[in-house]
Chains A and B, each alone.
Chain A
Amino acid sequence: MAEYKRVEPDLDFIKGVMESGGDTLNRCYQCATCSVVCPLSTPESPFPRKEMLWAQWGLASKVSGDADVWLCHQCGDCTAYCPRGARPGDVLGAIRANAIRYYARPRALAGILSKPSGVLGMVIAGMVLFFVAAALWAKVTGEAFPFPEGYVEYHKFLSVVPIDIVVLPIVGLIAWACYLGVRDFWGDIYRGAGLPLSYNGTASSPSFGILMTRYLWPAIKEILSHERFKKCGQTSERVKGHLWALWAFIILFAVTVYVMIYADVLGNLWPKAGFHTPLPLWHPVKIAGNVGAIMLIAGIWMIKTMRENKTREGILSSSTQDWILIWLIFAVGITGLGAEIIRLAQVKVLAYPVYLVHLGCVITLFVSLPYSKFAHLLYRTTAYVHQHYAEDIRAGKAGFGLEKPGRPAH
């Protein structure tokens, strides 16, 4: 007798996918053209045909346990060749948007940050928070509030100490949310891939060192060069803008860390070794910061233009989440650079408000990391790592972290 398995469709999941831009889902008739034309699809586990079926049937757990949706960069090649207008590229984008909500802790925050009004509210809340912090800080420093006397220098309004007091706890919470999301995602895709469990029923886990060197580092190298994204056919031009934005974030992150060490920590504890912001314009770190800011604005503008063009041409469709992330990053870049220019121009009445808006945008962008489309950074990287890892497990090369990197198993 054949075994029958009852399919229990999760209707809310289907609805969720269809509402986040995957409304063409039910047109798919499973010809698998998409899986063949996809330049990123793997021979053993081609996508996105199977994901289309799972999503149609409402198999939410199947889809959430599938790392392949994150190997997709939404080139639109599948959509261009789809004989039914089912737009698999867009459906996978919608599935990813849903997955981000699914792994978000708390999930309500993902709901808020998926709407423009929610994001705007978050920016305003951030501004209020920093405004209150600045008002309290003015009592400590004795500076005039909200417009400090004399030259425009932002540390007079809000120096690194109160900023850190506000930001660091938030960083901690967000890091925790990111960890929870990635941990749950990893568990799901490990089970979804059907990888073997150990004798006591747990997943085999590599040692931290092997995880880093053998799996994470190759994944990061791929991401830094956009090796896979470059293979995208229909929208390969999107790569440039994305690469600029990514490198801009890396540069700006490095600058932030440098400034934090020298200004926030040393500047206060050991003033001789540290410095106070702002750095002079000729300082290499300042130059790096400005280059990063310009790259960020240029990169995100390229992404925006390309996405608009490709949406107009019908190659991909763009959801609210796509635009929210683009505009939020743009706002961060333009207010940051704007605040610097206005400071140099010494327009006091404009400078401090713009700085406040900038702080509101930055904190919102940061908070949205595990909740918005920004989370693709987490889950796509995890999926890359998992793919390298699963390959090793299937080849019998990785087990319980016992092997040395690069040495084949016996």
Chain B
Amino acid sequence: MSKSILVVGGGFSGLTAAVEAAEAGYDVYIVEKESYLGGRVAQLNKYFPKLCPPTCGLEINFRRVKTSPRITFYSMAEVQSISGSPGNFKVKLKVNPRFTTPQCTNCKPGEEASTTEVPDQFNFGMSTRKAIYMPHPMAFPNQCVVDAAVAATEEGQNIKAAMPAGHVDLNQKAEVVDLEVGAVIVATGWQPYDPNKMDNLSFSQFDNLITNMMMERLASPSGPTEGKILRPSDQAEPKSVGFVQCAGSRDENHLPYCSYICCMATLKQAMYIREQNPDIEVYIFYIDIRSPGRKYENFYKKVKADDKVHFIKGKVAEVKAGSDGNVILVAEDTIGGGRVEQEVEMGVLATGMQPVGAVSPLPGVKYDSDGFVIPKEGIIPCGCAKRPVDVVSSAQSATAAALKAIQVVRRAG
């Protein structure tokens, strides 16, 4: 019997569940597949509706993780198997090597020695990184990573030579870790739905058609444009931006459910744009604006009051090429009547959230047809692994999951 708790996923939900359970006196393991904690929230520019940066919230959780003697976390790690029963789960992890040591917090010399340059997925490919890199400026743990692809090559040796002695360790091997835990909290979160799947929106054909998560990176001071919203084709400031709501969500052919956050994310991003330049026109094409609760409704009202933000009720079902790298969003204006072909200098697809379980399910966990976790005794989902939610609700469901996990290990013990 074990009284410890495993949290799969180190995003906002996983961190919250972990610190809540640890601070209640339980040993917690966090398994994170990326090289940093913080998950999708770490990629955001600001939260809605308060418009504060993600460091508020993430940093306090990082500090609670750091200072808690009860929390052990594994980054770059994946769950290989889960067996056993509530109170007595056996979990096998594979922890991949980082090829650096904890004192390696500045990759600069190594970057100069590195010749490989690959798209930086943290910025959705809008920038590149070298074979040694810091995941992002606020990364926790604040430790560089060397690409496994170069570890055994001459380039790897060159990077090692360029870095201070003892910082790079190319002999690190993947480790298998066996854990015994009483309960498993699944906080594997979400990924942006692949916009290429909507063939009528022709995402891959247009440089200046981006996704809402790409917009977060563009608007972020740590992003590829240092927080200036510029269109990818020519790095010019767009004079008009159009948002395509429900790009994949509420659609039987894609994600049959409402992703919950895209409306608020778009309203927030409209604010980013309007704050950057008061002359930019914003067009929002929607089916229904979903801004649940008083705070979100007030936020919507505030954005609606801006006469440069235009709301068109009708889903964009076709995107065409405009002049000069522009895109034309085609919809039916169901209130005004008639077909609308709105040319904008940049288009944003408000793509929805797909649970990670839909793409890489955990062994021993049951999922519904959309990839959300079906809870059972001892396997407790929270955040977006359970249903599509915003950050606030993720934190709430994580706290609830921590309590459930505690109940499971106490019952079993």
Contacts and interface: CB of A to CB of B under 8 A. Distances in A.
Nearest to B318: A36
A32 B331 CA distance: 7
Nearest to B254: A83
B387 interface: no
Interface string B235-264: 000000000001000111110000000000
Given A83-B252, A83-B254, 18 more contacts: A31-B287, A31-B314, A31-B315, A32-B315, A32-B331, A32-B332, A33-B317, A36-B316, A36-B331, A36-B339, A37-B200, A42-B339, A44-B338, A49-B334, A81-B200, A81-B253, A84-B251, A85-B252
Contacts of A82: 252
B295 to A, nearest CB: 26
Contacts of B254: 83
Interface string A105-143: 000000000000000000000000000000000000000
A346 interface: no
A83 B339 contact: no
Nearest to B333: A32
Contact of A33 (B315, B337, B338, B339): B315
A46 interface: yes
Contacts of B246: 31, 83
Contacts of A41: 339
A48 B191 CA distance: 34
Interface in A43-72: 43-46, 49
A165 B332 CA distance: 55
Interface string B281-293: 0000001000000
Contacts of A29: 250, 287
B144 interface: no
A34 B317 CA distance: 8
B334 A83 contact: no
A326 B314 CA distance: 38
9 contacts: A31-B314, A32-B315, A36-B330, A36-B339, A42-B339, A81-B200, A81-B253, A84-B250, A84-B252
Interface string A320-346: 000000000000000000000000000
Interface of A: 29-37, 41-46, 49, 81-85
Contacts of A35: 317, 332, 339
B196 to A, nearest CB: 16
B14 to A, nearest CB: 32
B354 to A, nearest CB: 15
Contact of A37 (B287, B314, B317, B337): B317
B316 to A, nearest CB: 7
A82 B318 CA distance: 13
A44 B315 CA distance: 17
A83 B338 contact: no
Contacts, number: 61
Q: Report which residue of B251, B317, B338 has the largest number of chain A beta carbons within 10 angstroms of its beta carbon.
A: B317
A230 to B, nearest CB: 19
Interface string B335-363: 00111000000000000000000000000
A41 B246 CA distance: 22
Contacts of B250: 29, 31, 83-84
Contacts of A43: 338-339
A34 B252 CA distance: 14
B94 to A, nearest CB: 39
B334 A81 contact: no
Contacts of B317: 32-37, 81
A398 B200 CA distance: 38
Contacts of B200: 37, 81
Contact of B338 (A34, A45, A81, A84): A45
B332 A36 contact: yes
A42 B338 CA distance: 8
Q: Which 10 A-B pairs have the closest CB atoms?
A: A83-B251, A36-B317, A32-B332, A35-B332, A31-B315, A43-B339, A33-B317, A32-B314, A31-B287, A46-B332
B199 to A, nearest CB: 9
A350 B155 CA distance: 90
Most buried by B among A31, A43, A46, A85: A31
A32 B312 CA distance: 12
Nearest to A50: B334
A45 B337 CA distance: 7
Contacts of B315: 31-33, 36, 83
B262 to A, nearest CB: 14
A83 B247 CA distance: 11
Which one of B200, B251, B332 has the greatest number of beta carbons of chain A within 10 Å? B332
Nearest to A86: B252
Interface in B299-329: 314-318
B268 to A, nearest CB: 22
Contacts of B330: 36
